[in-house]
Structure 1
């Protein structure tokens, strides 16, 4: 079902007029299904559909009525009934406030979900291109923020692709569970519809493109909380990637930069500064969105068959979380589109340790001859005891009689070349690129 709302943005997604129109859309769809089933006259459904627009019932009139009733759905259905003429007698037939409010919100969340997925598809496409292009681009692998082993930048991006794909999988699950019809009348058992209640629910769900709930009650807040938690986990992944990019942008590392437009200024007082602009906004969004997971779970503690207190909290959290997630996804896509890779600096940094970054390879060459533990200690002590001012790592190992007893100078030099010790980095990067594009196409 297409909503009658104008083009949505994160800022207008849950705006007053947008919500009101989504409720009108639900009322119109309900009347059409009821007319098909003979619950109300066919002419009534057409009259309700024609009147179910904000510009028809009047925004100012609706606002004024809500100020009196403090019951938005009552005011909305009252004006809709008045505007629809004779058909108005069948408006909101057997429905209750929360049925309409929650269904309207779900339809709007689904619109945002589509846009979030589009942005993630763009990110995964760009990541896949980076993984392919830089499958063989040497860089230092780092653990505990220290040089560990040589990798390629494509391999690093492969890890981002796979983690982001897991986030998409989790979002899929949350969306599948959330996009269900919470329409069950006053308490969820379809009292006002007699024997036709469950069939009405089935048909209305199909018309709105939602799945059915066996118990379409008013306290299924866990579905909303679940979805917000999935968005928070997505924010965690985005934050991890963006934080790493931010660190790699630091001047002392310089392996990554943002492509900034001409005229961008970094500081009002320091003329030399060109600060990162895009990554910092993404990081701010992710921190805020992550923080909404805990309050979202508070909304699941509703009581009995209806609880306005938790519903008020839920509305507040959704108003913040869904537009924020949409903004975060768009900004993340914009950031990744501007990422530039400085391959020469990556290679330079990978060689900062003078070959020490690849000494695991040398150790594994010695291991069959003297044992792995002894080989580890031998290489470790040779590096530990050498002075960079006096000799290189390679020279320190060449000066060790035990090493020389088993390996030639050429073998030592070859072992310490980081370009020859990147493991499966290249093949993993290329496989991840294929997987990333596959997920992007599905999104």
Structure 2
């Protein structure tokens, strides 16, 4: 199995893979073990198990050497990887009281996904900050650069390239903010087999809240086994980020066309058969990655249909979908950064096509958008 989130082309070809490493199968399974270790500590701290049982749990977890292929094969019988992992830990521990205390498989898997997403989100936020800086610089530099606006595929009225870049900036900045809020709100999952913490009563809620604090996660909603809004919200927020950078990519691609040639990537791509071409390859790749996210977002919305106290297939559909939507978004952000870094703006070509010199409030709008940039 790969230590990246999907495959060699999709991740490595997008640029920096530090984001994708947090979404890998290894990161996911390791986070399940992290949940089990933190749960043993929380249960001991709450007085539900002994310190000796917690230590035995830690010894078993620390001694585990992950064989991802073996875990995948063993997952088939029960339908998820937690079942064989927990069975192995209980065998290793001897004293099994500290393993999977009062938990169910969904508790471990949901919390592991949340941990992976939070960590990946921190890397993505840094990259988005870099994109915001590039856009802010473009908007500032070209505050007064005239260019023909285009509506419905036709030339319209003059505007400025500064206000165009500021519009790109505003969308990226706001979508990044929304994603940050959704990630910050991601909660721990710990509620037991039917969501009522019966196996750790009367200390269950105390164990839950200690576990949340230990992992640095929100403690509410208390039970979200069939309330999938936390994961769906963060997935949709990621898709909005992908949409915001895809808009930029589309404009760069269109404006790089030979017949327009108003912008050009600093390091355009070539062609295997046409040596004269200078393709906006980074923007094209950004578009390709981002274009996958609406379908993935639709799948996440479909998972809101959870039956009774545990989703039957709807929950299982989330595990890869949420990682895919994050990975595709991160890859799109990587490529739009490459597209914008050193973007060549052909101001003379823009000026030659501009009819009239009235650009309205374009410069003032640019300034107002830039003033809202507090990153």
Separation in structure 2 between the aligned mates of residue 324 and residue 193 of structure 1, nearest angstrom: 39
1:56-83 per-position Cα deviation (integer Å, ceiling 9, x unaligned): 4766765665466655222211222333
Alignment partner for residue 268 of structure 1, among 244, 260, 272? 272
Instruction: Say which one has the larger Rg.
Output: 1
Alignment partner for residue 238 of structure 1, among 234, 245, 250? 245
Map of 2:35 onto structure 1: 26
Structure 1 residues 428 and 217 mapped into 2: Cα distance closer, same or farther (>3 Å)? Answer: closer
2:113 counterpart of 1:105: yes
1:398-442 per-position Cα deviation (integer Å, ceiling 9, x unaligned): xxxxxxxxxxxxxxxxxxxx1xx2222223323433433x1xx3x
Contact 1:116 1:330 in 2 (8 A): no
Which protein has the bigger helix share?
Answer: 1
Structure 1 residues 196 and 287 mapped into 2: Cα distance closer, same or farther (>3 Å)? Answer: same
Q: Which runs of 5+ in 1 are unaligned?
A: 351-356, 359-417
Contact 1:140 1:149 in 2 (8 A): yes
Q: TM-score, normalised by structure 1?
A: 0.75
Alignment partner for residue 291 of structure 1, among 290, 295, 299? 295
Structure 1 residues 83 and 228 mapped into 2: Cα distance closer, same or farther (>3 Å)? Answer: same
Q: Which stretch of structure 1 is more off in the superposition, 146-155 or 25-34?
A: 146-155
The offset of 1:49, in angstroms, is 2.6
Structure 1 residues 64 and 232 mapped into 2: Cα distance closer, same or farther (>3 Å)? Answer: closer
Contact 1:57 1:80 in 2 (8 A): no
Map of 2:170 onto structure 1: 162
Map of 2:363 onto structure 1: 426
Map of 2:9 onto structure 1: none
Structure 1 residues 62 and 82 mapped into 2: Cα distance closer, same or farther (>3 Å)? Answer: farther
Map of 1:194 onto structure 2: 201
2:137 counterpart of 1:151: no
Map of 1:337 onto structure 2: 341
Separation in structure 2 between the aligned mates of residue 106 and residue 48 of structure 1, nearest angstrom: 22
Map of 2:44 onto structure 1: 35
Q: Which stretch of structure 1 is more off in the superposition, 157-166 or 145-154?
A: 145-154
The offset of 1:135, in angstroms, is 1.0
Separation in structure 1 between the aligned mates of residue 102 and residue 202 of structure 2, nearest angstrom: 13
1:11-58 per-position Cα deviation (integer Å, ceiling 9, x unaligned): 544433322211000000001111111211123323323432475476
1:246-283 per-position Cα deviation (integer Å, ceiling 9, x unaligned): 1111111111100117xx5x222222222221110001
Map of 2:13 onto structure 1: none
1:312 match: secondary structure: coil
Separation in structure 1 between the aligned mates of residue 80 and residue 149 of structure 2, nearest angstrom: 59
Separation in structure 2 between the aligned mates of residue 57 and residue 134 of structure 1, nearest angstrom: 53
Contact 1:27 1:92 in 2 (8 A): yes
Separation in structure 1 between the aligned mates of residue 273 and residue 17 of structure 2, nearest angstrom: 39
Structure 1 residues 58 and 296 mapped into 2: Cα distance closer, same or farther (>3 Å)? Answer: closer
Map of 2:226 onto structure 1: 219
The offset of 1:144, in angstroms, is 2.4
Contact 2:23 2:323 in 1 (8 A): yes
Structure 1 residues 70 and 187 mapped into 2: Cα distance closer, same or farther (>3 Å)? Answer: closer
Map of 1:128 onto structure 2: 136
Separation in structure 2 between the aligned mates of residue 293 and residue 64 of structure 1, nearest angstrom: 28
Contact 1:131 1:153 in 2 (8 A): yes
The offset of 1:193, in angstroms, is 1.5
Which runs of 4 or more aligned residues in structure 1 lie more than 6 Å from their structure 2 counterparts after TM superposition? none
Q: Which runs of 5+ in 2 are unaligned?
A: 5-15
The offset of 1:192, in angstroms, is 1.1
Contact 2:142 2:162 in 1 (8 A): yes
Separation in structure 2 between the aligned mates of residue 246 and residue 26 of structure 1, nearest angstrom: 45
Structure 1 residues 241 and 59 mapped into 2: Cα distance closer, same or farther (>3 Å)? Answer: closer
Structure 1 residues 423 and 186 mapped into 2: Cα distance closer, same or farther (>3 Å)? Answer: same
Separation in structure 2 between the aligned mates of residue 292 and residue 57 of structure 1, nearest angstrom: 29
Map of 1:378 onto structure 2: none
Alignment partner for residue 254 of structure 2, among 235, 247, 252? 247
Separation in structure 1 between the aligned mates of residue 29 and residue 17 of structure 2, nearest angstrom: 14
1:308 match: secondary structure: coil
